[in-house]
């Protein structure tokens, strides 16, 4: 008898012999942010609204209905960040019924044969950007690094409480930190800035996850291949939603004994469009399996981008 999807996935993540290329979409049960927006205090309620930090999220049609902080309504800027302790209010992690949430989310799969992944949305940099906008967040990293690092540490303190709740109610195998720190061309900040300001915050999150026997996973869209060695150094076992703007095959060749790659599918190109034809989708899946699948640290993850405001696309 072959491995269950869970056994196969965990063997892959631990760089052990396994039967086949894992498929994240079928082999994993998502909880928390990976299920959707997760608790409303992370990214607001579905369809938009206020989150637990007092950030109002809107869902413009031009962005396919994806929630974004309301433009021009930020709490901080690169001058007032020095006073963040007087301005930023953190949500109470006990303010939602996590037991009921976990029961509902975990009912979508079978943890006996599937891996459980708890996703924590709005990682340190994304939360910073939600509070002040990307431009001001990057200005703060450059102009007020000490105050910015202090705020990021407070965000991590909150995230560690989330990790504790995830352990209590989900007992996940994986903990995914959703923190987009790159564009399709390069990281938002220099590697030096990442190492000095963001990396310590990420390390604290992954150390806390490992303390509860969760495998640390970093979700970062965009071209972040220049930070792979940093990810490995702070304990990341898998980088997820990796897009082919990165040289995925080279990463697998050079770092595959230390880091798993979850992704590969060209979600930003024609194969990721909601109107992609079956022929285009099949061609891309075959490419992923043929190019990346020959490496033992590859996990397939492919999906189409949807317009969350269109009920027909959400069925």
182-220: pLDDT as tens digits: 999 999 999 999 999 999 999 999 999 999 999 999 999
- Whether 245 contacts 223, CB under 8 Å: yes
């495998």: which residue's tokens? 215
Is the pLDDT reported for residue 40 higher than 90? no
Torsion, Cα 268 273 278 279, to 10 degrees, reads -50
Number of C-beta neighbours around residue 214 at 10 A: 24
- Whether 77 contacts 148, CB under 8 Å: no
Rounded Cα distance between 125 and 141, Å, is 10
Q: Can you read off the two tokens belonging to residue 57?
A: 């999220």
Rounded Cα distance between 242 and 248, Å, is 8
Closest Cα partner for 32 from 151, 132, 177?
177
Burial bucket for residue 107 (CB in 10 Å: 0-12, 13-18, 19+) = exposed
The pTM score is 0.95
Rounded Cα distance between 39 and 33, Å, is 8
Question: What angle, 0 to 180 degrees and rounded to 10, lies between the N-to-C axes of helices 134-143 and 145-169?
Answer: 120
Write the pLDDT tens digit of every residue in 106-142. Answer: 999 999 999 999 999 999 999 999 999 999 999 999 9
Closest Cα partner for 8 from 260, 275, 270?
260
Rounded Cα distance between 15 and 161, Å, is 30
203 or 306: which leads in pLDDT: 203
The overall longest dimension of the chain from CA atoms, in Å, is 62
């930090």: which residue's tokens? 53
Burial bucket for residue 191 (CB in 10 Å: 0-12, 13-18, 19+) = middle
Is the pLDDT reported for residue 311 higher than 60? no
Is the pLDDT reported for residue 315 higher than 50? no
Average pLDDT over residues 16-21: 97
Number of C-beta neighbours around residue 135 at 10 A: 12
Q: How far is CA 165 from CA 33, 125, 269, in A?
A: 13, 21, 37
Average pLDDT over residues 140-161: 98
Q: Which pLDDT score is estimated for 308? A: 55
Closest Cα partner for 166 from 241, 96, 221?
96
């Amino acid at each position: 008898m072959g491995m269950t999807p869970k056994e196969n996935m965990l063997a892959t993540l631990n760089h052990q012999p396994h039967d086949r290329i894992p498929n994240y979409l079928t082999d994993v049960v998502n909880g928390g942010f990976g299920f959707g927006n997760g608790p409303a205090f992370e990214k607001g309620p579905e369809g938009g609204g206020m989150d637990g930090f007092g950030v109002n999220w809107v869902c413009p049609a031009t962005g396919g209905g994806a929630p974004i902080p309301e433009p021009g309504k930020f709490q901080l800027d690169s001058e007032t960040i020095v006073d963040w302790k007087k301005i930023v209010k953190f949500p109470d992690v006990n303010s939602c019924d996590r037991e009921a949430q976990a029961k509902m989310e975990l009912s979508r799969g079978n943890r006996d044969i599937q891996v459980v992944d708890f996703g924590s949305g709005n990682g340190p940099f994304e939360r910073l950007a939600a509070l002040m906008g990307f431009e001001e967040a990057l200005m703060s990293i450059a102009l007020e690094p000490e105050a910015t690092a202090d705020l990021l540490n407070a965000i991590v303190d909150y995230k560690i409480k989330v990790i504790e709740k995830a352990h209590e109610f989900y007992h996940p195998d994986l903990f995914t930190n959703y923190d987009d720190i790159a564009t399709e061309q390069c990281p938002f900040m220099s590697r030096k800035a990442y190492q000095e300001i963001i990396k310590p915050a990420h390390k604290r999150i992954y150390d806390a996850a490992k303390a509860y026997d969760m495998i640390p996973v970093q979700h970062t869209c965009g071209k972040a291949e220049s930070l792979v060695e940093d990810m490995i150094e702070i304990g990341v076992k898998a980088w997820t939603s990796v897009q082919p703007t990165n040289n995925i095959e080279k990463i697998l060749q050079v770092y595959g004994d230390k880091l798993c790659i979850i992704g590969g599918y060209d979600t930003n190109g024609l194969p990721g469009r909601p109107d992609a034809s079956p022929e285009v989708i099949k061609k891309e899946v075959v490419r992923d399996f043929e190019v990346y699948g020959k490496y033992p640290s590859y996990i397939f993850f492919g999906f189409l981008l949807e317009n969350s405001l269109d009920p027909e696309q959400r069925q």
